[in-house]
Amino acid sequence: MDLADLSAPPRPKEPTLNAEPAVQRRLLDLQDLDLQLDQVAHKRASLPEHQALKDLIAEKSVVDRELVTADTEVSDLQREQKKADSDVEQVRQRRARNQQRLDSGQVTSPRDLENLQHEIGSLDRRISDLEDSELEVMEKLEAAEVVQADLRTRAEAFAGRQAELETTRDAALKELDEQRAQLGDKRKAVAAELPENLLAQYQRLREHNGGIGAAPLVGKRCMGCRMELAPSDLNAIKAAPPDAVLRCEECGRILVRTSESAA
C-alpha cells in the first residue's frame, strides 16, 4: 500500500454480507456482462461515423452559406441583365422608328432632318454604351453561374456523403443496440439470482471503482486492482467462512474466491 492509501480517509463501514460461493461466482458473471455492456456503450459513442458526420456537416454548412450568397448574386445579376436587355431594346425600337421616319420621307424640313439624324446618331452611341454594359453584366453572370454550379455540385456531394455516413452509422448502431439488448436480457437473468443486498453493494462499488465492483482472486492477486495481497490479508481470507463476502483491502472491491485463488 502506498503513502496515498495511508493518508486517505478510511472507507465507511458496510454491513457484513454472506452468500454461497456459487452465488458469489455469479457476481463475476454479472461483472463480465456489465463490462461487455460498457464496451458496447463506448463503441456506440465512439463510432468513427459520429466524428466524420460532425466534420462533414461543418464543411457542408460553409458551402451552404456560400451557395446562398452565390444564388443571391446570380439572381441579382439576372435581374440586372434583364433590365439591360430591356434598356437596349427600348433604345433600338426608338432608333428604328426614327430611321423609318427618315427613310419614308415624312420629314421634309432640313432642320427637322438634321435634328432627326442627330438624334439617330445619339441613339447609336446610347445603344453602343448600353450593349457594353449589357455585355459586362453577361460576363459577370456567366462567372457567377460557374461559381454557383461548382458550389451546388459540392453541396450535392456533401449531401450524398452525409447520407452514406448516416446509413453506415445507423447500421452499426442497430447492430450494437441488438448486442446491448441481448446482454441486457442476460444481465437481468443473472441479477435475479443475486441477493438484493449483495447486488446493491456491487452496484455502489462499481459506480465508485471505474465500472468494476467485483473481481476474482487469482493466486494472491486481486484482479480488480491487480495488486498482490499481503500475507496477513491472505490468511484472513483463508480463515473466513466460504459464504463470507470478502473485500479487497487495496481497492475495496468485492473479492470472489475461485479455484485459482491461493486462499
In a domain? residue 35 = no
- CA 253 vs CA 17, 94, 98, 173, 215: distances in Å: 13, 99, 105, 33, 7
In a domain? residue 117 = yes
pLDDT at 173: 98
- Cα distance between residue 86 and residue 101, in whole Å: 23
pLDDT at 98: 87
* Residue that terminates a domain, selected from 189, 204, 222: 189
Do 203 and 184 fall into the same domain? no
- Cα distance between residue 150 and residue 66, in whole Å: 11
Q: Give the amino acid at 259.
A: S
pLDDT at 5: 43
Q: Which of 234, 239, 212 is nearest to 223 (CA)?
A: 212
Q: Which three cell numbers stand for residue 80?
A: 440586372
Those residues of the chain that have pLDDT short of 70 are 1-15
Q: Which of 224, 227, 237, 78 is nearest to 145 (CA)?
A: 78
Task: Record the pTM.
Answer: 0.72
pLDDT at 9: 46
pLDDT at 15: 62
Specify the number of domains making up the chain: 2
pLDDT at 238: 93
Phi and psi angles of residue 20, each rounded to the nearest 5 degrees, phi first: -55, 145
Range of the domain at 221: 3-19+195-261
pLDDT at 8: 42
**Are the CB atoms for 137 and 73 separated by under 8 Å?**
no
In a domain? residue 67 = yes
pLDDT at 128: 94
pLDDT at 16: 74
**Are the CB atoms for 119 and 112 separated by under 8 Å?**
no
* Residue that terminates a domain, selected from 169, 189, 209: 189
Do 199 and 184 fall into the same domain? no
